[in-house]
Amino acid sequence: MERSVGIVVHQTRPEALHFAREVVAWLGRHSVRALVDPDAASRLGQPALAADLETWQSAEFIVTLGGDGTILKAARMAAPGGVPILGVHMGRFGFIAEAHPRDLFSVLGDLLQGKRSVEERMMLRAEIWRGGECVHSGVGLNDMLIKSKMSRMLQLRTLLGGSIFATYPADGIVVATPTGSTAYALSAGGPLIEPTVQAFVVVPVCPHTLSARPMVVPADETIGVELEADGDDVVFAIDGVDPFALLSQDRVLVRRAEYTTRLIVLDRATFYRKVRDRYLYGERLNE
């Protein structure tokens, strides 16, 4: 049976596209078929490498070349089939990515020999309910965001445990997984959560009150958010893509997704090292 490895490439980074050619060639020399997302295959000038979603599920693992956004894209493709993902850091920040280009071919050699450690990351599913009907849904690894495009104050009624918890006067609200706690949720004042913890964090964005604080809730909780005021310029997005316009009285329900993202990890201490090194955690900045 032919072996195959998936490759997902950053949309706009020339260096990622150039490196993808090297990865495809290396895999070919090791009798492994490269499966490439259709857009990247076209830009590589090798349309024969393009793979549909069903073919992706046959890959042994997927390599992403880019930043964390590229991993989030791959997660939506790979998670339903349980295909592991190795993120290669070629972006600006790369908090989820594990490998660096200089080490990739050595790492690939190990992975093809079955030497791999996989970490399960919980995902979220969010649905928009309107007039008793689900009009939109999606799955993501990082977060669900509701926000006014004009930074207008919204009234966001939040439900926890099946009953009203709080109504936030705020520019928006973000519900994040532990993986997403290092992204938008952190910028909005949320806590860092170790990525294997089973929990959600609910963070109001720019709340117009001093009493609103982030909430960490169990992963088996269903989180509801109702838009009280006019929707107009209010958008909903999962992992920052495919925005969907919300209307007044819409209800958004967020719960744990039915599958996980399987990330290939090279060092179990990576998360704490990244927190320390990339956020300068605990260091004085005036020295």
Active centre residues (catalytic): 68
d(CA 75, CA 190): 23
d(CA 104, CA 240): 28
What's the distance, CA 226 to chain centroid?
A: 24
- 3-state SS, residue 215: strand
DSSP state of 190: P
Say if CB 236 and CB 243 are below 8 A apart.
yes
d(CA 115, CA 249): 51
Residue 44 CB contacts under 8 Å (≥ 6 apart), including other chains: 17, 20, 21, 24, 36
d(CA 66, CA 97): 9
For residue 183, give the nearest of 37, 71, 60, 57 by alpha carbon: 71
For residue 213, give the nearest of 202, 198, 221 by alpha carbon: 202
DSSP state of 103: G
DSSP state of 44: T
